[in-house]
Homo-oligomer: A and B are copies of this chain.
Amino acid sequence: MLPPRMREIQLTPTSYLVLGLLAQVGEATPYQLKQQVDLSVGHLWSLPRSQLYAEPARLAQAGYLTEDREQDGRRRKRYALTERGREALQRWTSTPTAEFTELRDLALLKLFFGADPVLLAEAQLSELRTRLELYEVMRGLDDGSGPRGPWQALGAGTDYVKTSIRTWERIAREGRETGAGPSAAHSSPWA
C-alpha cells in the first residue's frame, strides 16, 4: 500500500495543523509556516518553532508531503501536500470528534490543591483581559468573506476567554468574602 522507503507514522494534531496550513497556502518553508501559525491558528493551538521543522520532515518521510530543497544560498526546504496528504486531511476534517477537551489549566490545578484564590485570580485576570483585547481586535478583521471556520474558531476562543474572566472574578469575590486565604491541601475532595 505504502511505497517503499516510507515510514508509517501516526498523525497527531500537530500533523494535521501542518497539513491544514499547507492546504491553505499551497507550499511553504518551515519559517513561513511559523509565520502563518503565529498570526492565525497559533492563537488557538500554538507550537514551538522547532516542531515546524521536525513535523514536515516526518510527514514527508511518510508520503504526506513533498520535500523540495532549494539549490541556491539558503537551501531552504519547501513543503507541499501530496495527494495522500490531501486525502488524510480531508478524512480528518470530515470525521467529527465527539471527545471532550479537558481544560488542563495549570491555574485551576493550583486552585484545586489549595492556592490562594485571590492572588491566582489577579494573575489570571490580567493575562485574560489582554488576551480578550487581542481577540476582539482580530474579530474586527472579519469582513464576512472567505471560509468561516477560522472565524468561528476565533469566536469560540473569545467565548472561552470571556467566561474565564467571569469565572475568575467570581472566584476572587468568593475568596474575599470568606476571607479564606489559601486553603491547606489536606482534607478530602469530592466524594
Contacts and interface: CB of A to CB of B under 8 A. Distances in A.
Given A96-B123, A115-B93, A126-B98, A109 B16 contact: yes
A190 B41 CA distance: 9
Q: How many copies does the complex hold?
A: 2
A36 to B, nearest CB: 8
Interface of A: 13, 16-17, 20, 23-25, 39-41, 44-46, 89, 92-94, 96-117, 119-120, 122-124, 126-128, 131, 138, 141, 146-157, 159-160, 162-164, 166-168, 170-171, 174-175, 178, 180, 182-191
Contacts of A178: 148
B127 A17 contact: no
Given A97-B123, A156-B167, A167-B156, A189 B150 contact: yes
Q: Is the interface of A mostly helix, strand, loop or mixed?
A: helix
A150 B106 contact: no
Contacts of A190: 39-40, 138, 141, 150-151, 154
Nearest to A105: B101
Contacts of A184: 147
B152 A159 contact: no
Nearest to A119: B96
Given A108-B153, A185-B24, A186-B23, A131 B167 contact: no
Contacts of A103: 44-45, 101, 156-157, 160
Given A25-B188, A39-B191, 17 more contacts: A13-B104, A20-B185, A44-B102, A44-B109, A93-B114, A93-B115, A93-B185, A96-B120, A97-B106, A97-B124, A100-B128, A101-B104, A108-B156, A146-B187, A156-B167, A156-B171, A160-B163
